[in-house]
Amino acid sequence: MSTKPSAELRDQWHEDSSNWKPGVFYFNRADKRLLPPKRLKAMGWTVNFANPVSILVLIAMTAVIVLLTDLSA
């Protein structure tokens, strides 16, 4: 059973520039959160591209938006 990472560890992950691919895409296998905060935390959340479930959530949200857009046209 794994323990939940501390707030300090999550902050270290967030500040580590090696977890931000070309500076904008968050990629951290150790971080199990689906939607961690963006690099500028006040801007909302981003997808953890190292988490396959997170990518599925992104695809599902995109599909819903596309379907709703097609239905309204």
Could you read off the pLDDT of 34-48 as tens digits, one per residue? Answer: 999 999 989 999 999
- pTM, rounded to two decimals: 0.81
What is the average per-residue pLDDT within 57-69? 94
CA distances (Å), 61 to each of 3, 17, 18, 26, in order? 29, 27, 27, 18
Question: At residue 73, does pLDDT exceed 80?
Answer: no
34, two tokens: 């689906």
CA distances (Å), 36 to each of 5, 49, 67, 71, 72, in order?
13, 10, 26, 31, 31
Q: Is the pLDDT of residue 1 over 80?
A: no
